[in-house]
Structure 1
Amino acid sequence: MLNQNDAGTPTWLAAHNDRAAFRLLLEHGPLTRSQLGALSGVSKPTAGQMITRLERVGLIGPAGIVSGGRGPNAVSYGVRIDRITGVAVSITARSIQAVVVDAADTVHPVAELAADAETRGPEADVRRAVGAACEAAGVGVDSVTLVVVGVQAAVFIEGDELSHTDTLPGWPGVGARKRIEGALGLDVVLENDANLAAMAERVAGIAQGASSFVHFWIGEGLGVGIDLGGVVHRGVSGGAGEIGYLEVSRSALELEPEAGNLTRLVGGPAVVRLLGGEPGQQLAEVLPRLAGDDAALEAVATRAALAIEPLLTVLDPAMVVLGGPTGIAGGERLAELVAERVDAEAHPKLVVATSTTGDEPVLLGARQLLVQQIRERLEADITPAA
């Protein structure tokens, strides 16, 4: 670690330069000494020294030859992606998605598995996910060090506790992370799926410039990721955002007399009915109809507006992002209809928008978290002694 008491000394300056060089190589990909010097503002000899030190500690290596035109060809250097490898995982009631992640955020194939009801449990689910992701990417399972797992549950990270685990059969309320780490020998982060979706929206989606926002996940169930100034608010026990369990208001009961909570008002079965689906039909089967069904869009918007009203009153966010399968399927038109139903006098500055992070926002959020952790671990190897 860099000691700030040594700031300004030659060894401190060398480590500071090496970290800057490492970040430039991550940002731009492989660079020659001349390219690194130009980007970092240091001389070519100093850039060469930075490369030598980074190569010595195993963080970078030769990546190819760059033609120098009339002059000699130059070696380019890139970050070694084999030093630390992770796997991002998203677990739902019916499927498991997983993808290999490295320091360069290389695009690898996403593996998707059906959730095996007979063998569900934290160790089994994550072991299958890691194995499938590594097979898809063509890397060895032994290379994996870190795993970030998105789950449909409230996660109290410090206490290794899960609650509202309706879609996680075989997962304990306490100790799931410890069990995975013990069985697989990996460092594990468990995170709520809506929180990961919010992280993805902050970094790569529509909410990049928002001062605060809530990511309202509308699917089979409901969830909310709360971002306040770039920090995800989890609550003291990880339960912030579990909006689906809230009792409905009196006006909501007029729409759905049997709706005891918000999930029954605008969750999967309710949307299936609004789209004319059969009892027991899955949400994914009928959602393609939503964008072209004006009556269903109006009905979903009315219910979604009622569901987010408590959030607007308590949090007063700058933006509401509609995500999850139903939010994405409804598109911009659903966002417009929800905005029309929000009390404009009470929330004059509110923006309602549709998520722009794609079909795998939970996996994207887990990937982003993993890339950050991998890079932090690698940077820790850059010390004044190096």
Structure 2
Amino acid sequence: MTKTVQGTPSWLRATNDRTALSLLLEHGPLTRNQLVELTGLSKPTASQMVSRLEGAGLIHAVGEVSGGRGPNAASYSVRLDRMLGVAIDISGSVIRSTVVDAGGSWHPVAETSVAKSSKDRSAVGDVRGALEAACAQSGTDPASVQMVCIGVQGAIDSRTDELTFTNTLPGWPRKGVHLHLEEALGCTVIIDNDVNLAAVAERRCGRGAGSAGFALLWIGAGLGLAVDLGGTVHRGAGGGAGEIGYLPAPRSAAALDPAAVDLQDLIGGPAVVRLARETGLRARGFTEMLEQIAVGVDREKLLSALAPRIAAGLVPVLAVLDPEMVVLGGPTGTAGGPRLAELVRAQLRRSSRWSPEVVASGVPEHPVLSGAREVLVTEVRSSLLDDAERLRPQHDRSSIPAGSSTPVD
């Protein structure tokens, strides 16, 4: 039974159009009859809705479905190529990017090396190169890209459009970076801290799914912390929340590393490489050290030495936030895996008053890119639904009644 909602005819059409697009994005290709069943609309109304969306280029016929007697019914799908996004992860040595569509389809990941000299780099050059590489890898038209989401090793202050806490983006402007990129690229630009985006991925498809909240400790060449509060990442007033590497090393860490001034000195990449050598692992650099942590025969010695350092760094976080779960992510945390998480949890129980669940990341591959992708899927879908709203005459858009968006005849 359809629900009667008062409103102008064009508002009713727009409501039905948005509902149909949402259903097609959720379920995939559907026939007119299936849309009738899912929306409760009459067949004539559903047919008009399909014709309207098809004429606007928002949906297209993708096949036929046998309905028994009579002719086959055409099935319709959203035009995913109408609007695309590109997710970008910029690290110190490589830029990864991938195309994102409203259906959430997986596209190939492109990798481009960053220029070693700051003279050869710029924000526009980095992002445009990543965008074009992603489109070339997936065989899509760069002209269809209307938004990008960029994960950077730093913080972006949304109030001042200022980039802070970063030394891995030579050639990038520190002020006005967001506006600069949007004007040069001609598309919507979203910039976020890389660890915050990794937390988005952890919430959607990792260990944070279904939890009340968690803290993600990113351990790699640098350190970072993202705090998920019931599905919302806490970014702070100026976007600088989670720059944990700047915290002074606790007094209790003096026995572990007397020379450590801050947490970066205690568990950052260079410190872990030194620790690996001290425990007998052959590691000439950070990449080799990660391989030894992941599969080395003598990895237990290093993990046992690393766990107390991580636990010492976590105590201030636990004292302030007391999360029910701590996720160990980043290259080092992922390489250490469940065994490192187990050792950190045991160390916290022995040395502190806190005993959170400590787990390894559930998004071991491209977590920053995955988080940016999740952000873009939501944004691209929202833009497509807004396109359905634009089918309604401009003069009639102020008469939207308050209340339900239920499809109506």
TM value normalised by structure 2: 0.87
- 1:272/1:278 contact within 8 Å kept: no
The aligned counterpart of 1:342 is 348
- 2:199/2:228 contact within 8 Å kept: yes
Superposed, which structure 2 residues align to 1:263-278 within 5 Å? 263-276=264-277
Find the structure with the greater CA-based Rg: 2
The aligned counterpart of 1:52 is 51
Superposed, which structure 2 residues align to 1:184-203 within 5 Å? 184-203=185-204
The aligned counterpart of 1:385 is 392
- 2:276/2:282 contact within 8 Å kept: no
**Separation in 2 of the partners of 1:324 and 1:272?**
15
* 1:101 Cα deviation from its structure 2 partner: 1.1
The aligned counterpart of 2:182 is 181
- 1:98/1:110 contact within 8 Å kept: yes
Aligned residues: 379
**Separation in 2 of the partners of 1:206 and 1:45?**
46
Superposed, which structure 2 residues align to 1:371-382 within 5 Å? 371-382=377-388
Pick 1 or 2: higher relative contact order, CA cutoff 8 A, min separation 6. 2
Q: Secondary structure at the match of 2:388?
A: coil
- 1:117/1:169 contact within 8 Å kept: no
Superposed, which structure 2 residues align to 1:65-104 within 5 Å? 65-104=64-103
**Separation in 2 of the partners of 1:240 and 1:17?**
42
Share of identical aligned residues, percent? 51
**Separation in 1 of the partners of 2:151 and 2:19?**
31
Out of 6, 9, 12, the residue aligned to residue 8 of structure 1 is 6
**Separation in 2 of the partners of 1:41 and 1:347?**
53
Shift of the 7–156 alpha-carbon distance from structure 1 to 2, 3 Å rule, reads: farther
Residues 278-331 of structure 1 deviation map (CA, whole Å, 9 limit, x = unaligned) = 78x332222122145111111221111111111111111121111111111111
**Separation in 2 of the partners of 1:203 and 1:67?**
36
* 1:33 Cα deviation from its structure 2 partner: 1.4
The aligned counterpart of 1:368 is 374
* 1:69 Cα deviation from its structure 2 partner: 4.0
The aligned counterpart of 1:3 is none
The aligned counterpart of 2:116 is 117
Out of 281, 299, 306, the residue aligned to residue 312 of structure 2 is 306
Greater displacement, 80-89 / 193-202: 80-89
Any unmatched runs of 5+ in structure 1? Answer: 1-5
Residues 228-262 of structure 1 deviation map (CA, whole Å, 9 limit, x = unaligned) = 12111111111100001111011112211221111
- 1:62/1:75 contact within 8 Å kept: yes
Shift of the 195–60 alpha-carbon distance from structure 1 to 2, 3 Å rule, reads: same
**Separation in 2 of the partners of 1:355 and 1:23?**
31
Q: Secondary structure at the match of 1:116?
A: coil
- 2:282/2:289 contact within 8 Å kept: no
TM value normalised by structure 1: 0.92
Confirm whether residue 225 of structure 1 aligns to residue 226 of structure 2: yes
Structure 1 vs Structure 2 CA RMSD: 2.0
* 1:224 Cα deviation from its structure 2 partner: 0.9
**Separation in 2 of the partners of 1:355 and 1:256?**
26
Any unmatched runs of 5+ in structure 2? Answer: 394-409
Greater displacement, 126-135 / 40-49: 40-49
**Separation in 1 of the partners of 2:327 and 2:45?**
47
- 2:95/2:130 contact within 8 Å kept: yes
**Separation in 2 of the partners of 1:322 and 1:199?**
14
Q: Secondary structure at the match of 2:387?
A: coil
Out of 353, 360, 364, the residue aligned to residue 359 of structure 2 is 353
Superposed, which structure 2 residues align to 1:158-169 within 5 Å? 158-169=159-170
Confirm whether residue 315 of structure 1 aligns to residue 321 of structure 2: yes
